[in-house]
Chain A
């Protein structure tokens, strides 16, 4: 157990859960459909055709999640113009009151690019990557640019949103951000003004976090070194207290395999059973009912997610599935 401010008492985290025999390890796809079933992506587009290098930038970084309503009159053919306008906008906002010519070299370079590999089906829009880099003022010719901020608009199997929307709109409901909040606010306001869209932080509910815990536990990962860690926050205390519950990945997987009935499919009931087993084990040792606390963070070898809407992808193999799940969450927030 650890507290956020380090003032509270700590307990050794539990490393070992009851070891069961290794069951057959069926691999499950990640993703939640409306019905609450885990489905494999209909056509694993990016798994086969995509170049993993093109999406590797997403791995091993913390991304803040936002939902974005459909962009009005966004056009893929104008990405270079958008970059010019955006960089002038950022410069003008930074030196409020001074006008800035569009298209001149500025301290901040903006690149807006399309990533066709990052999508689910062919009906999805290609993802849009926005990158801000600082030119070193000392030697502008030096071409030494430091990437300071990236944001990625994407849509992975978001058909049920895009098919209901007229042509003028571009559906890229999931927005991932890595970098300073000040840049996020500038880029976000520009997109809001230009394409009449709305951004909202995408929080992940404890229910969805427990889904992620179950799903990721069942995933086959080459190196199974990192533990499955669940962090719980104890509500209604005068000081923040977090309980960290770490489980050996093989133990967790073994437990999950006994719970899951049909490989490739997860039901809410199975997730509940899985979590209940973990809770009762914990209660047996520490006499603490975790069900009375709030699940705030899940980290596994596949990915880690925080309820505030932060995510870190660790395995390129499961990237599409994860983005599909997050797209789903983003769509449910904007509809």
Chain B
């Protein structure tokens, strides 16, 4: 439930406490350039001074004014009234002005028209002193003024509520205001005022009974509903109400005549003025459509958990941290409120509502309480199962709602940076039934948050159903699966980094999440992706788009040791490496170069650590990893640089071919056909390079690129954005002399 913000900035209080009279106020104006009311332009200062003088005069006039002065006949009254009005509407009135003007307006000394004009001009420059409000309420109680003036005063009080500097004494008058409910005309405004004033201790059984009597007399009235529902919020054990879903505002706009003036003053006075928020009750949740009562895809509204029952009250006398102390979640609107009340905040009665409330999610992050997660676990698990559009028949019409729900769950997981186990179970249960189409982006995003802890289940529950869909679905589906598996890997690795840092408080380390368990699970995922990537490249004819997503995955894999501190490196399978190496596309080749460079950096770092034995390493990379890397690097350098791939490649699935066989292809210069000049992915660059270097030559003689020109060509390639190629060549190719590229050797680790 959103209530109007009651802000009292301490600055204002201090500022005005010692201003006892008008002249002091004026002095203060001059001496303090920060004072908000003051206009800063110096040419106006004199004008302002004269204005202040006339306001001072006007106020002293109204202070001394005698009974029944007629406006028409009295020029002095006319003049002073106009002064007050013009100053008030332009800049607002000083705090000291309110006491005088409220007294005269409510005393009934002057005609109603004057009273109305006075009240309408009561716009504060900064704050309104509480004392002036209290004394005017006492005048209201003796009812010297007319009914319309009374109403106008109440509306003024509601509008200006947030400008009143203190409210303690005003709270003490709660009973007086409550008695005004009797008056039928005043009732709506009094309800609004009470709504602003009500605290938990104001809710008393006799007041509830009085309000229910009024309700019986007047029927359903929105202002009574609002007040009663606030009472219900504070004391659900005493009264209850179900608000109709349609209503939005419960009080008529009462700030009417002052709105423009307040806005004008606020514009001059921006930092300090409280923000007027529209009053909206949040307890009535909109029902989206006619659905079953136990349908829960609608995330419940936050509502305080108050099983505040009679039996508990005895205990409460002993309990210091009793329910009275708690801060209702409905009133939690800002982060600073959260910080101030974090010790006395309760979770809402239905945990599901935290999903849409970032403040409560922050709070959830701070509180390590099993029951919070259990409540969320049950609610989410049941909702996901019940609403799943492909598991439950007849749900298909609600696909949009379910999508939104999955989206919300995913966002929450991102916010908390952890996956929900209920979500994981849901995926395991529903993926075998999934058509790969319904809510695809949402489902695949949820996959990326499957928690690491339960690796034994991942294969049969995730990989098996996913692989069936993967092989039978479109290229784009394949790419999205790879994308979400990359994110899954990154989430696991991030989790590992965070938790290995906080190893000291090792409660998070359950049995399943030992380092060897983690390494096994991650290795399993990488091997799985390697396998499906190999098959997918076959199926899709080495599609560039697909290759991009696969290499993107390996960009994370090749850096696991250095970036995520995980003692594991796995090379891509030959079915990925060779299609990338021989790709028709320079993007893929460049990406592969970058990946191989990072592999090298990681492997070198690992070897150094191993040799220096700084740490006793629990895990060593197997020699097989180094061997695989070396095989690939030989093939790569052979292809791109030394034009010896067909001879030197030692990988069993590699490019090694006999010269006789190659000669049968009738390709001339077959040896160099994959170097950085002739490689199909690079030939375009070579062509452009030739065009720029020898514009007159139209024979496209690629063999011109050698010696010095080879180096120019390299510089040209780097300038074209092939950064991956650059770091690869600079790190992996040992160029004996800059001039003779033919002597370059590949660097093995």
A interface residues with partner B (beta carbon < 8 Å): 66, 69-70, 72-73, 75, 77-78, 81, 85, 88-89, 91-93, 96-103, 165-166, 168-169, 184-185, 188-189, 192-194, 196-201, 334
Chain B residues contacting A92 (CB-CB under 8 Å) are: 240-242
Distance (whole angstroms) from the CB of B62 to the closest CB of chain A: 44
Known contacts A166-B371, A169-B374, A193-B300: does B294 contact A199 (CB below 8 Å)?
A: yes
CB within 8 Å: A-B pair count: 117
Chain B residues contacting A77 (CB-CB under 8 Å) are: 311
Number of residues of chain B lying within 8 A (CB) of chain A: 46
- A-side binding surface: helix, strand, loop or mixed? mixed
A99 near B382 (CB under 8 angstroms)? no
Q: Choose one: B240, B292, B378, B381; the contact of A88 (CB below 8 Å).
A: B240
Distance (whole angstroms) from the CB of A12 to the closest CB of chain B: 33
B279 at the interface (CB under 8 A from A): no
Chain B residues contacting A101 (CB-CB under 8 Å) are: 208-209, 212, 238-239
Chain B residues contacting A334 (CB-CB under 8 Å) are: 378, 381-382
A81 near B240 (CB under 8 angstroms)? no
A70 near B378 (CB under 8 angstroms)? yes
B241 near A99 (CB under 8 angstroms)? yes
Q: Choose one: B240, B305, B374; the contact of A99 (CB below 8 Å).
A: B240
B243 near A97 (CB under 8 angstroms)? yes
B349 at the interface (CB under 8 A from A): yes
B188 at the interface (CB under 8 A from A): no
Shortest Cβ-Cβ A-B pairs, 7 listed:
A185-B293, A69-B378, A99-B228, A198-B382, A99-B241, A199-B294, A81-B309
Chain A residues contacting B383 (CB-CB under 8 Å) are: 198
Instruction: Name the residue in B232, B294, B370 with the highest tally of chain A Cβ atoms < 10 Å from its Cβ.
Output: B294
Task: Tell me, in angstroms, the Cα distance from A198 to B381 when the chains sit together.
Answer: 10
Task: Tell me, in angstroms, the Cα distance from A89 to B236 when the chains sit together.
Answer: 10
Instruction: Name the residue in B224, B232, B350 with the highest tally of chain A Cβ atoms < 10 Å from its Cβ.
Output: B350
Interface string of B543-576 (1 = CB under 8 A from A): 0000000000000000000000000000000000
Chain B residues contacting A189 (CB-CB under 8 Å) are: 293
B240 near A102 (CB under 8 angstroms)? yes
Task: Tell me, in angstroms, the Cα distance from A70 to B238 when the chains sit together.
Answer: 26
A102 near B379 (CB under 8 angstroms)? no
B294 near A188 (CB under 8 angstroms)? yes
Task: Tell me, in angstroms, the Cα distance from A69 to B379 when the chains sit together.
Answer: 8
Q: Choose one: B231, B240, B241, B382; the contact of A85 (CB below 8 Å).
A: B240
Chain B residues contacting A165 (CB-CB under 8 Å) are: 374
Q: Choose one: A96, A185, A201; the contact of B242 (CB below 8 Å).
A: A96
B244 at the interface (CB under 8 A from A): yes
Distance (whole angstroms) from the CB of B677 to the closest CB of chain A: 64
Task: Tell me, in angstroms, the Cα distance from A193 to B375 when the chains sit together.
Answer: 12
12 further contact pairs, Cβ within 8 A, besides A93-B242, A188-B293: A73-B305, A81-B309, A92-B242, A97-B220, A99-B211, A100-B212, A192-B294, A192-B350, A193-B300, A196-B351, A196-B379, A334-B381
Q: Choose one: A78, A100, A168, A188; the contact of B371 (CB below 8 Å).
A: A168
17 contacts between A and B (CB under 8 A): A66-B294, A70-B378, A72-B371, A73-B307, A78-B309, A81-B310, A85-B236, A97-B244, A99-B241, A101-B238, A192-B296, A194-B307, A196-B305, A197-B378, A198-B294, A200-B385, A334-B378
B215 at the interface (CB under 8 A from A): yes
Task: Tell me, in angstroms, the Cα distance from A101 to B296 when the chains sit together.
Answer: 28
Distance (whole angstroms) from the CB of A118 to the closest CB of chain B: 23
